[in-house]
Structure 1
Amino acid sequence: MNVVVDVHGCIQLLRSCGAAVGQQMHQLLLKSGHVPYSLPSSNTLLLMYARSPLHRRDAHRLFDEMSVKNCFSYNSLITAYFNSGEHHAALQLFRAMPERNVFSWNTVITSMVSTGDLDMARSLLVEMPVKGAVACNAVLHRYVRCGRVDEAFALLRTISLQCSGADASSPCNDPFVLATVVGACADRMKYDFGRQIHARMVVSKMELDTVLSCALVDMYCKCRDLDSARCVLNGLTQVDEFSLSALIHGYASCGQLHEAVQLFDKEENPSIVLWNSLISGCAFACCGDNAFALFIEEARRVFDMIGNKSVISWNSMVVGLSQNGHATEALVLFCKMHRIGLRLDKFAIASALSASSSICSISSGEQIFSVATVLGLQSDHAVAASLIDLYCKCGNLANGCKIFYEVDKPDEVLWNSMLIGYASNGYGHEALELLELMKSKGIKPSERTFIGVLSACCHSGFVEEGLTWFHQMQKDFNVSPSAEHYACVTNLLVRAGRLDEAVEFIENMPFKADAVSWTTVIGGCKAQGNEALMQKLAKKLTDMESTHPSLYVQLSSGLAAQGDWVKSAEMRSMMRERRITKNPDMTLHLHTCKKSDEAASMMSCSVSGSDR
């Protein structure tokens, strides 16, 4: 019996069927003598085989048999190689292509990003003749995610030099690329670079979309330039709720509660996004004075006003309380979340573990981790990192190490948690050994890593090693030192008795030194009896007009220890004149310690209740 084969129909079916059925249809065509020799037909077959990991060899065989190939043919097999983990073969085939289109470049670059080979991805992107937004954003976004922000900025500058700024298709003018970089500026406080990018947008008359406008508002708020943030919002043709929520959060978190509430009240029916922004902004506001309690109180008031609270609202409140010295209240709120049956995610668990860590309550932390285990979140990296931090802060380094080494393929956050754990417990050698192991595993040190390294050197008295790492972090790892890094080095020098070097180091900072650095030096003067430097710092503090209470308290105490009761009294008087009050840290600490057992008890009841 003669069977009539519809070749065109078979080729159409091949586009939608799986490799197993497709292979049978291919064999049917071959047996009937209707060999699909045309390039479109061959490409359809090739794509069908390439999509299936089990038929990658068939794809390779068909590719070799094709007399004519085009970019589509090469791209299909390159994708197949990457999907099966044969990255070297994919790169070899890419290099062998007679000509490449944008899709070819995008495929290889985004695939290299996915494999974690950022250096190769960057090299290919620089080599790419016509830069595409897809490839650029993939590399830049991964740089930012990995904490390699300075390299992201350097890459953008390189691309800017290679592309024409007037070209609308240039990746430097793509909203998603710009939003990625502006977001990095916000996270790393790169204010000047962020302003330059914004200025380019204004000059080129670029219309801001939701993503880019929100990124700009967030960047200005995090860099505490609220006037510029408000200008961005006012310049929008239509204000979206995400940009508005970013500004509300910015006002509140920068201590301008009145402006935040005023902006919020202008909305007749505020969405849950706006409610969350006001709550989190108030909860995260750190004022350093008596206004602090007002912000926590306002955050709680707004939180209680919401009828149908989202998980984000609960999480924002838990995180805000935890990070602002109200750990017990954060744990009580977490218990309530669990008791009423709210869906607990990794962020809520990690925040509750951090709260347990801040009051050194291993019992409540372990019960929270048991909840995470029931929910299947025990292997999550954020949860594991918080548990490591808890054990290490409570001095149980052995359990912290146990958790760390049980995690499969720890990420940068976990490495940093363990490294800082070693450092805070005085194990400097072990911390530096862990750093070398981290580097050997291909994990590039970030800003947070070097906080741990410098702390380890500080706690263990490795002065020269600490100074060497401080200089190498920017030179060899492209990590710009932050205020926290400078504070670590200041502490390192003070502990070593090198007070004059510490003062010179602070005065040569590229930004204004914060209260932490000066307080450290004052403490060193007091411990070493350096009266001359103490007097000099007293004069400097008067000129600075600082509002940080610890500076005045330390200086007053130090002057009193030297017998200079007159100047000690002047410091106290200056505090009253400037309306600066001492934070009741010890009272708060004792209060939370007394209540930590209560929180642990509540956690126990909550966990037991969940087993019903």
Structure 2
Amino acid sequence: MRLPPIRFRAASTAAPVLAANTRIARLARGGDIAGARKVFDSMTERNVASYNSLISGYFLNRDPSLALALFHRMPLRTSASYNAAISGLARNRRLPDARALFDSMPLPLRNVVSYTSLLHGYVREGLLPEAESLFALMPERNVVSWTVMVEGLVRAGRVDDARRLFDEMPEKDVVARTAMIHGYCSCGRTAEARALFDAMPKRNVVSWTAMISGYVHNNQVDLARKLFEVMPERNEVSWTAMLTGYTQSGRIDEAADLFCAMPEHPLVACNAMILGFAQHRMVARAREVFYEMPHRDEGTWSAIVKAYEMNGLELDALSAFRSMQMNLVRPNFPAIISVLTVCASLAVLNHGREVHAAMLRSFFDDDVFAASALITMYIKCGNLSNAKRVFDTFGQKDVVMWNSMITGYAQHGLGEEALAIFDNMRSLQMVPDEITYIGVLSACSYTGKVKEGRKIFHSMSLNSSIKPKAEHYACMVDLLGRAGHVEEAMDLIRNMTVEADSVVWGALLGACRTHMNHEIAEIAAKKLLQLEPGNAGPYILLSNIYASSGRWREVTNLRKVMSSRNVSKSPGCSWIEYNKTVHMFTCGDILSHPENSIIIKMLEKLDRLLKEAGYTPDGSFVLHDVDEEQKAHNLLYHTERQAVAFGILKIPKGVPIRVMKNLRVCGDCHSTIKLIAKITGREIVLRDANRFHHFKDGVCSCRDYW
């Protein structure tokens, strides 16, 4: 923008110029930089302060290029002009420009403020060698420049160097002493921090809070409380620091008492209290704090979303996130991660797409952690193409992103693709970690690649620093067991270099269920019951084995043992997303759904079509000693079939029906859904507790190897 011709006058300009300068500064502070420029352009007379006000406004509004351009057009520049420009460029992370301007500054105009402004920029950006060089060149230093350098050394973890510099300071104020206290506390040296605190000739609320926060940070909550009790004047920060100390150390009752005693409840304290209650599964108390707050910020909404997510209240978390957006609150990073976790858990693809859009609006899509969570969400929602698109378009991938793709392909039964990603990862010199090997071994297991799995497992300890852990052995036991090598899997367990845990024995018991090996199944079940006496899984799997071979007495005895030990089986449930609502179907509770009548009619219609196509119910998957007709009836109302029937009724043709189940899909339902996909011409994606099944044209992606 061209400036109109002007007549420049000295600082003793008339009152209208002073008023205009004040207005420029006020508009810029309010974010109206265009209005500030308009006032500036309309001035027929300007002084140095006019330029300085608008230049500072540009820097304040994150437009350093226009600020620098205007600076270079100034007819006259003073020390204050140079210093404001150097400081503004440094704050806007334009350090090369700040240094160039500093170097071009006439020596008579250069003063301690000029040096300190640039010094502060170097320290802020972590460029400590440059800061130290500049500090050494300073012809004079004041307490601010000394303190900035001390803070830089502290931030770099060089606390002893910071102390040496601190001791050299000719004058020390409360800011410098507080910086040193922060430094000692940040590396756990609270005794030295306290000695410095006690020796302070004068303390303010910041120094008191620094010492209290230091104790809290180092889990010395009782020492923090003693200091807090004698603090002459408390502010929101000190109250909140003390509150956070209690919540982080698990002392939730004391945190709640302190919260009630607070004279005011700032947002930060309320947010900390919500998360504290959530961590102790006190969701009702967290919700109570949330709804009693007169004002909420993005941290508050994020806290309540996290509270629901971490306590398994996924639907409430989704509802809170939607309310957050309806209240025009832009989600912050923790809220995005929490709701992506929820979308992945529930496999609600439409919600997940909305969160992806929110990520783009908030510019979180270039964060590697957020991108990994997004990939995981798409994978667990059964949309591998979107997951691959996010993966391919991301720049610097870390090992977590590679692991997400390998695990994703494994869960979808795409062993070749998982191995290809693994080979590509290694060809790019990316070092696999423990999770990588779990993912690739799982891929081999789900697709029957025994030879490849053996090779990878044996090469893991030979060609890397990673030694096999229980999780890797569990993958190998699962791989061998699925392929029918149950005896070899048992030998592998006997020769393990680490103690076999419940996951290892569970994998073996699952293989025994598939291949009906009663002898080894009983060994595995006994080991599992010793390790996890309250886990219903071993009882259920062993019941399956007994029921499949008609050993109903053993089934009855197992049920009696479960009852006497108060072991209960998690009820089977399936769910499906439709019209941004999650529809749940629970075992034995079909009548609770508001549209149960049409669902039952669709189930009966499908049953007739299935029988016409040659379907015969497999009663071995009914764990009760009842007649065949009752077994067929029980199978008809399995929750995954209810969800599929609902999907056929509601999901438009051409759109895949996506169903989730909390347990492993039973063999009869697997066969049935294959046939339903064929006779209805629908694509059905089922995610059970272990993996994905893509049903289309009467075939499943798992090739019946699951």
TM-score bin (small chain): 0.5 to 0.7
**1:464–1:202 CA distance, 2 compared to 1 (3 A):** farther
CA distance, structure 2, for counterparts of residue 446 and residue 177 of structure 1: 32
Larger strand proportion of the pair = 2
Distance 2:67 2:195 in 1: 50
Q: Deviations over 1:389-439 (max 9, x none)?
A: 43454422333224422445x45xx3434433432223542222113444x
Task: Return closer, same or farther for 1:418/1:252 CA change in 2, 3 Å cut-off.
Answer: closer
* 1:426-457 deviations in Å (ceiling 9; x for gaps): 3542222113444xxxxx5597x664344212
**Structure 2 Cα separation of the partners of residues 445 and 561 of structure 1:** 34
Alignment match, 1:299: 221
CA distance in 2, matches of 1:209, 1:355: 40
* Residue of 216, 241, 253 corresponding to 2:186: 253
Paired AA for residue 337 in structure 2: I
**238, 251, 257: which one pairs with 2:171?**
238
1:101-500 → structure 2 map (5 Å cutoff): 101-112=47-58, 116=61, 118=62, 120-129=63-72, 132-138=82-88, 140-141=90-91, 143=92, 152=93, 155-164=94-103, 167=107, 169=110, 173-176=114-117, 178-179=119-120, 182-183=123-124, 185=125, 190=126, 193-205=127-139, 207=141, 209-210=143-144, 212-256=145-189, 259-260=192-193, 273-284=206-217, 295-296=218-219, 298-309=220-231, 310-311=234-235, 312-322=237-247, 324=248, 326=249, 328-329=250-251, 331-373=252-294, 378-393=295-310, 394-395=313-314, 396-408=316-328, 410=329, 414-425=331-342, 426=344, 427-438=351-362, 451-461=369-379, 462-468=386-392, 470-471=394-395, 486=398, 488-496=400-408, 497=418, 498-500=421-423
Q: 1:342 to 1:86 in 2, by over 3 A?
A: closer
- Superimposed CA distance per residue, residues 158-201 of structure 1 (whole angstroms, 9 cap, x where no aligned partner): 22124317746389934355435523x3xxxx4xx233223322
Aligned letter for 1:524? Answer: G
Between the aligned partners of 1:503 and 1:317, the Cα distance in structure 2 is: 48
Whole-angstrom distance in 2 between the partners of 1:44 and 1:181: 39
Q: Which residue identity lines up with residue 358 of structure 2 in the other structure?
A: L
Structure 2 distance, partners of 1:452, 1:486, is 12
Matched-pair contact (CA < 8 Å) for 1:172–1:178: no
Task: Give the deviation of 1:345 after TM superposition.
Answer: 1.7
Q: 1:125 to 1:458 in 2, by over 3 A?
A: farther
1:520 paired with 2:454, answer no
Distance 1:493 1:112, change over 3 A: same
**Contact 1:334–1:348 (CA under 8 A) maintained in structure 2:** no
Out of 565, 568, 571, the position equivalent to 2:497 is 568
What residue identity is the alignment partner of 2:98?
Answer: I
Structure 1 residues 540 and 84: alpha-carbon distance in aligned structure 2, compared to 1, 3 A threshold: closer
TM-score (norm: length of structure 1): 0.57
Structure 1 residues 40, 180: closer, same or farther in 2, change over 3 A?
closer
Alignment deviations for residues 16-41 of structure 1 (CA, whole Å, 9 cap, x no partner): xxxxxxxxxxxxxxxxxxxxxx9999
CA contact (8 A) 2:303 2:335 kept: no
Q: Output one character per residue of 1:565-595: Cα deviation in whole Å (capped at 9) or x when no partner.
A: 77834999xxxxxxxxxxxxx9xxxxxxxxx
Q: Distance in 2 between matches of 1:379 and 1:523?
A: 42
Q: Distance in 1 between matches of 2:335 and 2:321?
A: 7
Report the AA paired with residue 230 of structure 1. R
C-alpha contact (below 8 Å) 1:109/1:125 kept by paired residues: yes
Give, in angstroms, the shift of residue 84 of structure 1. 9.5
Larger Rg: 2
Question: CA 1:224 to 1:251, structure 2 compared with 1: closer, same or farther past 3 Å?
Answer: same
Q: Give the match for residue 558 of structure 1.
A: 472
Structure 2: stretches of 5+ with no match in the other structure: 1-8, 345-350, 380-385, 409-417, 445-452, 477-491, 502-531, 533-706
Aligned-partner residue type, residue 44 of structure 1 = A
1:272–1:178 Cα change, 3 Å: same
Distance 1:128 1:201 in 2: 26
Q: In the aligned structure 1, how far is the partner of 2:435 from the partner of 2:174?
A: 43
**Structure 1 CA distance for aligned equivalents of residues 242 and 425 of structure 2:** 39
Whether the 8 Å CA contact 1:490–1:505 is kept in 2: the answer is no
Structure 1 residue identity aligned to 2:357? E
Does structure 2 conserve the Cα–Cα contact (< 8 Å) formed by 1:249 and 1:278? yes
Say if 1:486 and 1:222 are closer, same or farther in 2 by CA, change over 3 A.
farther
Distance 2:460 2:122 in 1: 40
Q: Decide whether aligned partners of structure 1 residues 249 and 132 sit closer, same or farther in structure 2, where only a CA change above 3 A counts.
A: same
Alpha-carbon distance between aligned partners in 1 of 2:199 and 2:463, rounded to the nearest angstrom? 44
Unaligned runs of 5+ in 1: 1-37, 51-74, 144-151, 285-294, 439-443, 472-480, 509-516, 543-550, 573-585, 587-612
Percentage of matched positions with identical amino acids: 14
Q: Which string of whole-angstrom CA distances, capped at 9 and with x for unpartnered residues, describes residues 287-306 of structure 1?
A: xxxxxxxx42x233342354
Partners of 1:159 and 1:172 within 8 A in 2: no
Show the counterpart of 2:563.
none
Alignment check: 8 A CA contact 1:466 1:489 kept: no
CA contact 2:267–2:300 (8 Å) conserved in 1: yes
Provide the rounded CA distance (Å) in 2 between the counterparts of 1:281 and 1:539: 45
The TM-score normalised by the length of structure 2 is 0.50
Aligned residues: 432
SS in 1 for 2:229: coil
Higher helix share: 1
Counterparts of 1:519 and 1:256 in 2: how far apart (Å)? 34
Higher relative contact order structure (alpha carbons within 8 Å, sequence separation ≥ 6): 1
Task: Measure the CA separation in 2 of the matches of 1:229 and 1:41.
Answer: 45
Deviates more, 1:555-564 or 1:156-165: 555-564
